[in-house]
Amino acid sequence: MTYSDDVIGRARVASDATLDEFYEVLKGVNAGALWTVANDIEPWFPQPKTVPALWKYRDLRPLVEQALGLVKADDAGRRVIMLVNPGKQDGSAVVGNVYTGLQIMGPGESMTAHRHMAAALRFVHEGKGAWTVVDGQKLTVGPGDFAITPSGAFHEHGNESDDTNVIWQDGLDIPLVNAMDAGFYQVHPKLYQDVDPVPNHSYLKYGVGQLRPYGFEDSWSKRYSPLFAYPWEQVYDALHNVAKASPGSECDGYILEYSNPLTGGSVMPTLSAHMQMLLPGQATKAHRHTGSVVYTVAQGSGYSVIAGKRYDWTKGDIFCVPSWAWHEHVNLDPNEEAFLFSFNDFPVMRSLDFWREEIMRDNDGHQEISE
């Protein structure tokens, strides 16, 4: 299919002196002629400014460690190296309307509490002793663990180990919040929250989603999950169980969505997250969809083909897939499984009825790789 704009149904007005003059007049009254921009603002298919990209953890890690010596966490607010999409310098987006960065905390370090409209999630790369207090609940998290910091929830972080740094990845919807003109921010009035004596209590209550504390849900009216922490061991076992019972997804292998046990929906209204397992040597089929995705390699090594280009990855690497870009994944290890953690703005696509998906049927479902 071709997408020529020189067809009836598209704007095809040739410019001339009279029109140019008219456009100037319009400009003078804060107006414009739709036909001069119509084809641009109503494209045939999505035209994201952000592009596919991959960041090697081995490049980022030393820089993150360097930051540890350069700034104090509380001076920085948070000591985070953010990933900036090569296609779009402004707005602090790694892709589409999502933000991600690597945060480092030294031994014994801790920070003050704040909250904001932006929703946040955490995925731990390395280090023992990481903790975060979210809405008064202390969560202790280790490598591979996933945790959320919902919109409007006060939160503060720290590292209670004696000798090891913690590096975790933050994922937020900051660009979305700003695109929607909805940003609010507040420092905790007492700088630190009162903390519930039982760490991870939401996991103790909701750690088996289909066994619900009776009556509790009645009092839960918030739009996000009452469960804040999802440990790696549980998702690892769950993926192996799913693999015994199901063929998985042709485009994603075995993939689980971290869900709100009270609704079965995404953990937060603007961000969702997945963990997927690729069997040794597995190569998935290509698909494309609206919505943007940030992938982090939790384990293993392989490559993904995004918009026709190959991106090789290994543990800790981060890569992104913009809206409507074809993508497929390959686990190059003949013996070990590969695990990809990812987060996305699919809940937004679904809420606004913008979700579209297409699975590649030609060429046995695989893209031609350019270069």
Taking the least distance from each CB to a second copy, the nearer of 85 and 334 is: 85
Taking the least distance from each CB to a second copy, the nearer of 16 and 368 is: 16
Does 45 help bind a second copy (rule: CB under 8 A)?
yes
Could you say which of 169, 290, 296, 299 contacts a second copy (CB under 8 A)?
290
Taking the least distance from each CB to a second copy, the nearer of 271 and 368 is: 271
Tokens of 34: 């739709």
Burial of 86 (0-12, 13-18, 19+ CB in 10 A): exposed
Does 191 help bind a second copy (rule: CB under 8 A)?
yes
DSSP assignment letter at 284: P
- The side-by-side arrangement of strands in the sheet containing 229-230 is 99-105, 166-172, 120-126, 146-149, 229-230
Q: Which helix (H) or strand (E) holds 341?
A: strand 338-344
Q: In whole angstroms, what is the distance from residue 5 CA to residue 8 CA?
A: 8
Could you say which of 108, 184, 190, 358 contacts a second copy (CB under 8 A)?
184
Q: In whole angstroms, what is the distance from residue 38 CA to residue 22 CA?
A: 17
Does 335 help bind a second copy (rule: CB under 8 A)?
no
Taking the least distance from each CB to a second copy, the nearer of 77 and 108 is: 77
Burial of 134 (0-12, 13-18, 19+ CB in 10 A): buried
Greatest C-alpha distance within the chain:
75
Could you say which of 283, 321, 338, 349 contacts a second copy (CB under 8 A)?
349
| Phi, psi (degrees; rounded to nearest 5) at 85 | -65, 130
Binding window for a second copy (CB under 8 A); candidates: 125-133, 173-181, 302-310, 333-341? 173-181
Does 76 help bind a second copy (rule: CB under 8 A)?
yes
From residue 199 to residue 228, the character string flagging contacts with a second copy as x (rule: CB under 8 A) and all else as - is --xxxxxxxxxxxxxxxxx-----x-x-x-
Burial of 131 (0-12, 13-18, 19+ CB in 10 A): buried
Tokens of 261: 């046990």
Does 352 help bind a second copy (rule: CB under 8 A)?
yes
Burial of 364 (0-12, 13-18, 19+ CB in 10 A): exposed
- Look at the block and give the residue holding tokens 């991600």: 100
Taking the least distance from each CB to a second copy, the nearer of 335 and 365 is: 365
**Least distance from a second copy to the Cβ atom of residue 224, Å:** 8
Q: In whole angstroms, what is the distance from residue 78 CA to residue 104 CA?
A: 9
Region 102-141 residues binding a second copy, contact defined as CB under 8 A: 112-114, 116-118
**Least distance from a second copy to the Cβ atom of residue 234, Å:** 6
Does 314 help bind a second copy (rule: CB under 8 A)?
no
In our burial notation (b when 16+ CB lie closer than 10 A, e otherwise), range 233-270 reads ebbbeebeebeeeeebeebbbbbbebbbbbeebbbbbb
Binding window for a second copy (CB under 8 A); candidates: 123-131, 279-287, 326-334, 345-353? 345-353
Residue 167: closest CA among 112, 227, 100, 228 = 100
Binding window for a second copy (CB under 8 A); candidates: 82-90, 122-130, 160-168, 307-315? 82-90
Tokens of 147: 């945790």
**Least distance from a second copy to the Cβ atom of residue 338, Å:** 17
Could you say which of 130, 147, 148, 174 contacts a second copy (CB under 8 A)?
174
Region 235-274 residues binding a second copy, contact defined as CB under 8 A: 235, 237-238, 241-242, 244-246, 249, 252, 255-264, 269-270, 274
Could you say which of 2, 6, 17, 18 contacts a second copy (CB under 8 A)?
18
Does 169 help bind a second copy (rule: CB under 8 A)?
no
Is the Cα dihedral 361, 362, 365, 367 positive or negative?
A: negative
**Least distance from a second copy to the Cβ atom of residue 334, Å:** 25
Does 86 help bind a second copy (rule: CB under 8 A)?
yes
- Look at the block and give the residue holding tokens 């009836």: 8
**Least distance from a second copy to the Cβ atom of residue 310, Å:** 18
Q: Which helix (H) or strand (E) holds 60?
A: helix 57-70
Binding window for a second copy (CB under 8 A); candidates: 231-239, 298-306, 329-337, 363-371? 231-239
Does 8 help bind a second copy (rule: CB under 8 A)?
yes
Does 279 help bind a second copy (rule: CB under 8 A)?
no
AA letter at 88:
K
